[in-house]
Chain A
Amino acid sequence: MTAALPADAWAAANEISIVLLAINGDDAAYGELVRRRQNAIRNLLRRLTRDASLADDLAQQTFVQGWQSIRGLKSPGAFAGWLRKLAVNFWLQHARSSPQELPLGEDLRVEHATAAVSRQLDLDAALAQLPRDVRLCIVLAYSEGMSHGEISRLTAMPLGTVKSHITRGSARLRELLHDYGDAHVR
């Protein structure tokens, strides 16, 4: 029984072994996987939602769904990507049930923003002004370090669309951050 393992033992164990234990129904092992991955998944969802509370709700759903379906995971090495896909799917499901956002090119212009907002605008706020699919591609590329091909496979968007979203989205993001006087991006 692995539940009695001390925290040090869990921390030292490699992830593939822990995933294998979790696949075989060890809840303590899955708990350790959650501890290791929760920060990345919550950050990913925060970039996508710009709402910490919603991001945490979606992260909870992701981990519960992961726990229920981990037995179906074929390759233990694919755990991180599999979990990320679950998170993205939960976000997409949520986003589809929300009102459609502004299309690229028609997003909020800088001059329309209030002075208070313009000073406080951060990366998440700028991201929130990108259309859903563009934001997804940008976040997966810049925050998760995924290649265009990997994003195309994960989102089921054509590779050309992913490339175009990233090129145009990056330009728009830079423009938004510049125009809002972000000191970090010049």
Chain B
Amino acid sequence: MTTVTRMSDEMDEELLARFARAHERLPDAEFMQSLLAGMQRARRLRSWRRIVMVVVVGILAAWIMPSVLESTAAVVRSVAEHAPSYDALIISPGGWAVSMLIGFGVLLRAGALRRG
């Protein structure tokens, strides 16, 4: 069986025939068996990589979480001290509408509203 199905450029007919004749039907049993073993190895490797990744992320999260929480609390305290009127703005109808628009924009940028 030849794979030649389309030829839009000028080609040497004799070479084309020579290539078509060289296209062999190859035995596939051994190849498939070896490939399945390769896929199995790749699958195991991928599982191990995921496990290692989860462990590393967990350790990192546990390590940096206290400082992240501390910094967040400091920022919140600072905002509350310097701009106490923001809470009134956020719960007003205008603030609510602006928050919705910002949220919509974030979802759009993240591609969460795309189809498929």
Q: Which residues of A contact B (CB under 8 A)?
A: 27, 31, 34-35, 38-40, 42-44, 46-47, 56, 59-60, 63-64, 67-68, 122-124, 139, 141-145, 147-149, 163, 166, 170, 173-174, 177, 182, 184-186
- B10-39 toward A: CB 8 Å interface, digit per residue (1/0)? 011011111101111110100110111011
Nearest opposing residue in chain B for A169, CB measure? B15
Q: Judge whether A144 and B22 touch: CB under 8 Å.
A: no
Interface positions, chain B 38-80, Cβ under 8 Å from A, are 38-39, 42, 46
Partner of B4, one of A145, A173, A185, A186: A145
Q: How far is the CA of A163 from the CA of B8 in the complex (A)?
A: 12
Q: Could you list 7 examples of A-B contacts with CB < 8 Å? A: A38-B35, A59-B31, A64-B35, A64-B39, A123-B19, A149-B8, A184-B17
Chain A residues with CB below 8 A from B38, complex form: 60, 63-64
Smallest CB separation, A26 vs chain B (Å):
13
Known: A38-B28, A56-B31. A147 touches B8 (CB 8 A): yes
Smallest CB separation, B44 vs chain A (Å):
12
Q: Which residues of B contact A (CB under 8 A)?
A: 1, 3-9, 11-12, 14-19, 21-26, 28, 31-32, 34-36, 38-39, 42, 46
Q: How far is the CA of A27 from the CA of B15 in the complex (A)?
A: 38
Q: How far is the CA of A163 from the CA of B16 in the complex (A)?
A: 16
Q: Judge whether A60 and B34 touch: CB under 8 Å.
A: yes
Smallest CB separation, B52 vs chain A (Å):
17
Q: How far is the CA of A182 from the CA of B18 in the complex (A)?
A: 10
Smallest CB separation, A78 vs chain B (Å):
15
Chain B residues with CB below 8 A from A40, complex form: 3
Known: A35-B28, A38-B32, A64-B38. A124 touches B22 (CB 8 A): yes
Nearest opposing residue in chain B for A138, CB measure? B15
